[in-house]
Each structure stands twice: as structure tokens, then as C-alpha cells.
Structure 1
């Protein structure tokens, strides 16, 4: 594979992207800094196909990233491959308003062919290539120039390895016939709405303090205000106020600005500074959350009770057994709250639809309905149908 020098000019970038536009796929990774800013600062982009790899310096004077961004978001013929690409995609959405398309994430793909829920990149490389990568450059300052040879070598390695691993993963997905299992997960990654922050909706990311419309109305107003403050100052939202503090103020609003000095998580200066005044103004103007915006109640049947809780525990055990049997990540099949809902009598659940029903949901439903039981065979815990157990017992009795 040809490894290029660090690309720092638009002409070099355009030539590279022209060649890569003829590839079936490109592996993509980014290095960025966001510890002290609201918006992630893109510091490096790495890209590779099966023949060549390069690192691109977005901080180079005069460079125009348009050829790269067009390749990633406009060229539908080239598959874009990431590993745990959520933050990389977020950066591209911030720059273009679009996600890379079409898109493939190897971390998500590994859930369909192994029990790995969130396999890290180093473990991925070790698993597929038997290579232990050097993590030493991972936490360096990527915004500092010039970049060292070690930094560039480490960064390009991310995509050279990924370009070798992706065809192997794809081949296994084809052999197992599990590619379709990933469609919904990849669609989430390809939806720009998952990466565009709307201040008026930012309250939904915060743990909701109950279902009181007045409290939730204050929470919505405060969260939108905090988002605007953080964006304007380009600092992390947590530097303005932590989620826990914001939720506490929404639940127990101070009557006067001087009371802010008593709020845990705020400095005493808030009692008479400008940001404290703006917060109090937001609280004064906050309106109850409209009925149509109230969070949906969790789907539940009858209260679980002790017996229902035991059934939910059995379902979770079944999930572990099945995930091990078919070598798939349990989280791809279902979640704990779905198991509890199923135990409580809810039937309108994703686990009872499509491929999930075939590989797990059918047995889970039969367990709830008393048609399935646990048994130990050859020292391993397995599932067996009640009818099969009865038939076996009858055969044994007849043989006697």
C-alpha cells in the first residue's frame, strides 16, 4: 500500500479524492480536539482504500476541504467505512449538514458476528490482524503544529488497518447472512438528525425529573438557554452548568438571584453576575411543557410484581444463552427494558418482529407463556421445550 506524505494543499487533496472516487470503499478516521470547546476542532483526516492511504491537514493554510467532503457526502458509489464513527460523522455533519453516504461502521458490524458490544479499535485490530497497535500517540495534542512523524504514522495506521479488516468482516457477514440485521443500526448512523443539536430539544438528553409539566417546561427552557450560552462562548455545555445542577434548578427554582449562591454546582458569583441574571430571566419566562411534548410513558403491561420480576430475570438469562449460542452481541437482539415489558405482558415490541423474533423473540415469548424451560445438558445450560421434555420422560418410562 502506498502511504502519502501529509497532504497540505487543495491540489494534492483533489488529486487524491479523484483517485479514491474510483474505489469500492474508503476507510475514514479523524483526529480532533473538543476538551475545551463546544464544537469539535477537526485536526486531521485519515483516509485509505486498498491501494493507498493519506493523512490530510485541515489546519493547513489555504487548504479547501471541498473535494474530500464531496467524496464523503455526495459520492454514492463509494462506501465509507468507519470504526465507532459517531464523533467522526458528527464533525462531517457540522461541516456540511450531511452524513457520509453510504456508510458502514465496523464496531456496529461486530455486534452481528460476535458477542462484542462495543469492541475498541485496538482489540479489533488484534482480533483480525494479530497486530498490537501503539496507543502512545492517541492522547497527544492534535492541534499543535508541526505534527510529529510518530503522530502521522499512528493516525494513518488507523485507516490502513481498517481497510484490511473491512473486507474480512464483510465476507463473514455474507457467509452468516446477517448483513440485514444491521440495517436499522446503520440507518441511525446515516441520519443527520442524530447529530444536529437543536437547543429546544436538548432537554430530552437530560434525565427527566418526573412528569410535572411545570418542571419539564423549566427544564426545556434552561437546557435551550445553556446550549445557546455554550455555543456562543464555544465552550462545553458542562462548563456552563452540569446536567444534575440544571435538573435540580428546574425542580426547585430559586425565588431570587441571590439564592443561586446556595445551588450545589454553581459558584457564589452567580448570585449577582450577568449569567445569573440571564438564568433568572429564563426561569421567569418558562412556560409549562405542552401536552403534546410530554415524554411518552414507557410501554408497560401489568405491574411486574415478584413473579414478573423473576420472569424478567429468566428472559435476561435466556438472552445471555442465546447470544452465546449464535455468537452475537446481546444488545443487538434486545434491551433489558424490553425484557421487563415482555414479562409484564407487552407484545408490541421490536424483539417480536422480523429477524429478532426468529432468532430470539419466539423463544422469549414461549418462555413467558410457559412453553420453554431451562435444562442442563453436558454441563451446559440450554433451553428445551416443555413438550420435548415430556416426550423424553414418556419414552424413558416406556423403556423401563
Structure 2
């Protein structure tokens, strides 16, 4: 097991990795008590080498790692890449690429929605992973041999998974589908924390401008406080408090004290008045400051039977071709399809998804296809 604790050794390995076709990457981090993830370990493997990088070592600069992440010559292979990509963005201030997410690839190979790494390793390599060290505090030093071996397994098995998955995707002509599914993970907006956009993480419960302005201001204030103190948002104020602030729009400390969602005694803190000032300024300028109210599509009544039939059809069609249902359509897509048919603006009615499911779904809604029981099986057949 090769442990890297110096910039020189890290640079040497990253130079080696950049010359490869692919490098498998994983991280161990802590985030329970911080806003930003605390990077504690980096695991990497190529065809003939595997290393663990200690980013907490005194004598290490991660610049060579960032350079490798940006290198277009080498594909970075990860599993469930979202959180790792967020860490890499904060570390390198740009989105890494190219990447290959084996969790998304597994969906295209029929492993179901959001399959875990252990299940994928068991399903494709017939190896049971040791989960004994998964609750490790990765920020503590020293780490035991068992803990390091557990961490390293996240990339050594990934190295064995990747070539076979690529080969099967190419044989089944689905590699393009997987690359399309990965595109949203390359959007920079996914990894930035812009305070004025923080309201979008919350549910809008009232379309009025004053409510929207107060919600936006409260969320922006909380985001700035959480970033400045590097603590989770909930440590500042919970979401319920955001909704109370937007609905009641308190102007003074007494009104703030009466809100159920705000912790007792918060009105006495040094941050209480700045929060009130931000909300008041936003409400007074609501016409300009408030974000646009989300567009609401009014669903027709009695969609339940249509939705259930479409879900059944989706399961049948994806089982036949060996795909995860969510890769074709999610619950929101099914509801829109049931309500608006051909006019539904969903991916399930475009490209390869339309061929697999969309056309049949429209035919089912139009009464040209039917579902019936044949013994214990559900069968799809044309009508007439």
C-alpha cells in the first residue's frame, strides 16, 4: 500500500496517472459539523498502481492532483460522483473532467436506481466488501491498516469494474446514453454556493412577492452565516424557521421572538438584528428583489389510474431492455405525461427514451395499447 504525504510523491503519481487511459478516484471526507466537506483521504488507482493520498499531511500541496483532475487525456472514474465533484470544485475552483460515473453506468446496465458500490461490486465481480470501517472518523490520525485497506478497496474494485462496463455499454450501444446522463454533473452551478440563489433549495409555499422577497433574504442571510462560520445551514436556522420568517416577516425583535420555528433566545443573539434588517429591506423592495414565482402547472383531476398504468408500462419496458426506470422517466415525468400527453415537456418523449417508452406510453394514453393479466404476468398488447 503506497501512502503519499508529500507534494513531490503526489506530483510523480499524478504525472503517471495523466499518461493512463483512466484513473479511478474516491475520497473520504467529514461533513457532519461543517458547511464545506473536510477532505481527509484521496484514493486513486491506475492499471498497475494504487495509492492513498493524505491531504492533511503537513508537507503536501494538492495542486498536482488538481492538474490531473483537469487533464483531458485521462478519464476520471468515480462511483456516485456528486459529492466528490463538489469537493474537487471547492479544491480546484473548476469542474473536473472528463469523468465516468459507474453508478450512472450501472443504471444503463439494469442495476436499478442509484445502486450502491457494494451491490455493484457484488453483482459484477462477485466480491463481498468489508463494511467494518465505514463509520470511521477519517480526520483522525493515525488511521489503522484496516481502515486504509477499506478506503483503498473503493478504487481497486472500481479499476476492475470500469473496463467491463465500458465494453458492455459499447456492445449494447448505450455508452452515449451514459455520457448524456453525466452532463448535468459537469454544470458549475451545481457546485457553487451563491447566497442570493440559496432560496431555491427551499419549497415556495406562497407566490406573493413579499413572501418570496423575505424567503430569498432569509435564505441568503443564512447561507452567508453558514459559509462564514463553516457550519451546516441547520446550525444557523432550520428550514422551518425560513418558512416562518417568510410568512410572518417580523420587523422587530419581539415579533422575531414569537416565531415558533426560531429557537428560543435567538432574538438576543448578535445576528438577530442583521437578519431582521435584511428581511425588512427585501420586503420594502419586493417588486425588484423578489424572485419570480415558480410556474405551477395545474394538473387535471383523477390522474391516479393513468399514472399507475404508465408506471407499470415503464417497469415492463425497462425490464425488457435491462435499464433502471429512473434513467427513462422519474415520478414527476410520469405525472406530467399522464396529465398532458404529447404536450408534456419531458425527456421520456425525446430521443432514445421515446423509442423505448415514450411512443408506447402515448399509445396507451390514446387507447391504442392495453395492459392485461396473463396468469401472473402483465402483458402489453395492441387494441383492435
Deviation at 1:289, TM superposition (A): 6.0
1:16 corresponds to 2:27: no
Check the 8 A contact 1:38/1:231 in 2, yes or no. yes
Which residue of 64, 83, 97 maps to 1:67? 64
Distance in 2 between the 1:247 and 1:267 partners? 14
Deviates more, 1:230-239 or 1:288-297: 288-297
1:284 corresponds to 2:280: yes
Question: SS in structure 2 opposite 1:305?
Answer: coil
Q: Which residue of 2 aligns with 1:57?
A: 54
Question: SS in structure 2 opposite 1:69?
Answer: helix
Q: Which residue of 2 aligns with 1:237?
A: 233
Distance in 2 between the 1:211 and 1:115 partners? 40
Distance in 2 between the 1:278 and 1:145 partners? 40
- Where do 5+ consecutive residues of structure 2 fail to align? none
Question: SS in structure 1 opposite 2:286?
Answer: coil
1:240/1:72 Cα in 2 relative to 1: closer, same or farther (>3 Å)?
same
Deviation at 1:52, TM superposition (A): 0.8
1:374 corresponds to 2:371: yes
Which residue of 137, 141, 145 maps to 2:137? 141
Distance in 1 between the 2:48 and 2:297 partners? 51
Deviations 1:95-125 (A, max 9, x none): 1121221011011111111141011111111
Q: Which residue of 2 aligns with 1:392?
A: none
Distance in 1 between the 2:240 and 2:322 partners? 38
TM-score by length of 2: 0.94
| Greater C-alpha Rg | 1
Distance in 1 between the 2:256 and 2:345 partners? 46
1:105 corresponds to 2:101: yes
- Where do 5+ consecutive residues of structure 1 fail to align? 388-400
Distance in 2 between the 1:290 and 1:174 partners? 51
Check the 8 A contact 1:258/1:272 in 2, yes or no. no
Distance in 2 between the 1:289 and 1:127 partners? 55
Deviates more, 1:180-189 or 1:217-226: 180-189
Q: Which residue of 2 aligns with 1:323?
A: 318
Which residue of 179, 182, 188 maps to 1:186? 182
Question: SS in structure 2 opposite 1:268?
Answer: coil
Distance in 2 between the 1:273 and 1:378 partners? 67
1:128 corresponds to 2:124: yes
Q: Which residue of 2 aligns with 1:258?
A: 254
Distance in 1 between the 2:111 and 2:296 partners? 28
Distance in 2 between the 1:103 and 1:28 partners? 10
Deviation at 1:232, TM superposition (A): 0.7
Runs of 4+ in 1 over 6 A off after TM superposition: none
Q: Which residue of 2 aligns with 1:352?
A: 349
Q: Which residue of 2 aligns with 1:79?
A: 75
Check the 8 A contact 1:115/1:330 in 2, yes or no. no
Deviations 1:221-256 (A, max 9, x none): 111110000111111111001112211221122342
Deviations 1:326-346 (A, max 9, x none): 221111111222222222223
1:25/1:295 Cα in 2 relative to 1: closer, same or farther (>3 Å)?
farther
Distance in 2 between the 1:298 and 1:268 partners? 36
Alignment of 1:260-275 (within 5 A): 260-275=256-271
1:28 corresponds to 2:25: yes
Deviations 1:41-91 (A, max 9, x none): 111100001111000011111211111110011x10100010011111101
Q: Which residue of 2 aligns with 1:398?
A: none
Check the 8 A contact 1:260/1:268 in 2, yes or no. no
TM-score by length of 1: 0.91
Deviation at 1:9, TM superposition (A): 0.7
Alignment of 1:217-236 (within 5 A): 217-236=213-232
Which residue of 319, 336, 343 maps to 1:341? 336
